[in-house]
Structure 1
Amino acid sequence: MKICVVAPNNNTYSETFIHAHMRRLSSTVISLVGDGSYFPVREVDGVVLYKRDIGAWLTRRIMGLSIQQGEEKALSQFLVQRQIDVVLAEYGPTACAVLKSCQMAGIPLVAHFHGFDAFQYSTAEEYKDRYQTLFKKAACLIAASQSMASQLCLLGALPEQIAVNHYGVDVSKFQGGQPSKSPPNFVAVGRFIEKKAPHLTLLAFHKVVEQVPTAHLTMIGDGPLLEACKQLVVALNLKDQVTLRGVCPPEEVVNVLRQARAFVQHSLRTSGGDSESLGVVFLEAGAMGLPSVATKHDGIPEVILDGKTGLLAEEGNIEQFAEHMIALAQDPELAENLGNEAYKRVNSQFTEERSLSNLYKILTEITQK
């Protein structure tokens, strides 16, 4: 089976699950990535599929095709020439962009939704009509969580069209956490964006320090809210208790996690509807044997069992979030017990091998219909 994975960008920092689809599926995979738009223009290895230059312009002019038609035809010919059996489009808008090409080539399309494409109000409105066409024409829709599957149904998809496949993590890369032997160090890893609410994590941690002065918070990542968080650290007088490390290489992230008592992230749905969906970072923390302090946000309770593998607060409830952090800071044994259960759950339910195997099964069944 030949699979073509189409993605809008090559963001290795935050989309490890997509790169696993590109590199670790048990099949021949050809990967196309975009140039900042939703239309794929080159292969990951750099082979140009379509380029807006004079030659392409003349070709379209002679053939009487619009830019969009030229792109669609170029992609359909590419898929046929490469003898692709199924196309896996990462994100709903990407699937909309390649749907016509797949139809022209007679190749089934599977649309994999990941988060904003299902939840964000502006995206749902912008793609309202195209989503209805996609839902009718796609061979299958894949959701990263049950919560997302329910959201797709609200957008007009039928339940029987949707397959739920949770993300997985390469557990071999995340080992060695010992929360009971670590000081009360908390770690947050992720982009500094609204739906991850790093500012709310800082506000909660400020309350933690009042109860546990030895507590420390390390935040790894960057994004549009990073500067505001730097200012908040100064304003809350947390310069000695908070370390903002920016983007770190994976091995450094693992080393920081190994010295942590728990992982923390205050995910919430933004005013624009954007949501976390599942959160691979919680799987990575669990694989390390660390408990997580998180929120009852969309698919997160499908990963973190409140009171068993971590502690969950209501979205926006800083007091409750802080109480959970304080409980783990003051009780290493509680952190160890929750971390052990998190480790067991991730290793049995959320490995990358399990996720990729399920995805491969879905794609195989589509090609055999």
Structure 2
Amino acid sequence: MPKRVCIVVSSFPTISETFILNQIKFLIDSGYKVRILSTRDVDTLIGRHPVVEDYHLMDYANTIDWEKHMPLNFLQRILGALKELYKYRQTPLFSNLLKSFNVLKYGRQAVNLVKFYQTLMAKFFIDGDIIHVHFALNALPIIPLLDMINPDVRLLVTFHGYDAFHYSKQFYTPLLSSNIVSYTVNTPFLKEKVENLSFPKERVSILPVGLDTSQFNRGLRCGEVKGVFNVIFIGRLIPLKAPLLAIKIIQRLQQLRNNCHLTIIGEGPEFTACQEHIVYHNLQNIVSMKGSMTQDQVKKELSESHVFLFPGIIDGEGRSEAQGLVIQEAQAMELPVIVSDVGGMKYGMINGETGFVVKEKDIEGFVEKLKWLMDHPEEQQKMGKAARNFVVENYDNKVLGEKLIEIYES
């Protein structure tokens, strides 16, 4: 079993990407030697997340932006190059460093040692068995370095969503031309998107983003307002997540039942439009916008809610939610979830058992499902129990960590 893994991320640590932190934690617990490589500056603020502090993850982290490692002063650049040549004189990287001085091939980049310091980036991967890259665009600079490092190295690239929507087949040509790269995606929906970019389906595995279900345990309800049906929406306030549509759904539900409330947690460009709609329609008493909150605060709000509403849409750029980890977090807190039928949301729940799937933008359809849950409190709680069981069995970090190791070994 390979024991040395280089994890490549856009920035580190990113608290909004706790699933990456938890994945790293699982690998370390499983005996892997982990190196964390960030394409942007590593954040030196330690302790913002328990995993970062408890596992001393900053000790494993480096920046791989070659410009950050190339001295601005030319003399220092030369001295640094001589030092690196001596250091790697007995490794496969040495001959490639020498080739970087080829003026006929690289021109000015060879003369000013730019090509040398680009080539030197291979040093970060030289002792790895597996390179696991999060977000596909981060893998592109690594492809030219593969011949300079361990010939048996394997490259695993994880698509997360926008990296499949925003870039073309031509953009990913270096990846497509390599036959040693495997891929993971979080849902069948994203798998189809990646395959449409011409990535070979036999090398694309489905590996959802997971969570620590022990940290999302409802326990006792924490002070629900008696007689009020609490609906909650959590997510960045952007068009594809449809927070304004969530408000309109509750607005319609209130016209029929008069005992519901919507809590919206999140920030984003749609915040002002949501506030303006609330004020214009006098919805201040039935919709609360809480902005961004800590994870503990979010869990408290979830524990005081009856159902999670996520009516995502296909936005003007053709994008939609690829997975929506918050859907699994809500289910782990024993909430039925109601989601739309676009993107990958429907793959992260069981329609009719842990919640409902409704046609995109069908306000009356969402209202009908909410009314049914209001009228059937016992079924609502039964769905919540089933929802937690579903997430524990399929989305817990340990379950998905074992699947990741299977992918590494295959």
> What TM-score do the two structures reach when normalised by structure 2?
0.79
2:251 alignment partner, SS class: helix
* Corresponding residue for residue 133 of structure 1: 174
* Corresponding residue for residue 87 of structure 1: 131
1:357 aligned to 2:402?
Answer: yes
* Corresponding residue for residue 292 of structure 1: 337
* 1:214-247 residue CA offsets vs partner (Å, 9 max, x unmatched): 2111111111211221212212211111111111
Amino acid in the other structure paired with 2:190: M
* Corresponding residue for residue 89 of structure 2: none
* Corresponding residue for residue 25 of structure 2: 23
- Cα offset for 1:335? 1.4
8 Å CA contact 2:175–2:181 kept in 1: the answer is no
1:333 aligned to 2:375?
Answer: no
Cα distance in 1 for residues equivalent to 2:345 and 2:296:
25
CA root-mean-square deviation: 2.6
Amino acid in the other structure paired with 1:344: N
Amino acid in the other structure paired with 2:308: F
1:96 to 137, 140, 148: 140
Cα distance in 2 for residues equivalent to 1:204 and 1:168:
29
* 1:189-236 residue CA offsets vs partner (Å, 9 max, x unmatched): 111112211111111111111122221111111112112212122122
Unaligned runs of at least 5 residues, structure 1: 37-42
User: Following superposition of structure 1 onto structure 2, how do residues 58-73 of structure 1 map, counting pairs within 5 Å?
Assistant: 58=74, 59=77, 64-65=109-110, 69=115, 72-73=118-119
* Corresponding residue for residue 5 of structure 2: 3
User: Following superposition of structure 1 onto structure 2, how do residues 210-359 of structure 1 map, counting pairs within 5 Å?
Assistant: 210-359=255-404
Between Structure 1 and Structure 2, how many residues are aligned? 352
Label 1:329 to 1:75 Cα distance change in 2 as closer, same or farther (>3 A). Answer: farther
8 Å CA contact 1:22–1:30 kept in 2: the answer is no
Unaligned runs of at least 5 residues, structure 2: 42-56, 82-100, 102-108
Cα distance in 1 for residues equivalent to 2:121 and 2:280:
53
Label 1:178 to 1:316 Cα distance change in 2 as closer, same or farther (>3 A). Answer: farther
- Cα offset for 1:151? 1.7
1:169 to 211, 230, 234: 211
1:129 alignment partner, SS class: coil
2:156 to 86, 98, 110: 110
* Corresponding residue for residue 197 of structure 1: 242
Cα distance in 2 for residues equivalent to 1:243 and 1:101:
51
Identity within the alignment, %: 25
Label 1:360 to 1:342 Cα distance change in 2 as closer, same or farther (>3 A). Answer: same
Label 1:156 to 1:47 Cα distance change in 2 as closer, same or farther (>3 A). Answer: closer
Return the structure number with greater relative CO, CA threshold 8 A, min gap 6. Answer: 1
Label 1:51 to 1:5 Cα distance change in 2 as closer, same or farther (>3 A). Answer: same
Label 1:240 to 1:117 Cα distance change in 2 as closer, same or farther (>3 A). Answer: same
| Greater Rg by CA | 2
Cα distance in 1 for residues equivalent to 2:369 and 2:211:
25
Amino acid in the other structure paired with 2:125: L
1:33 aligned to 2:58?
Answer: no
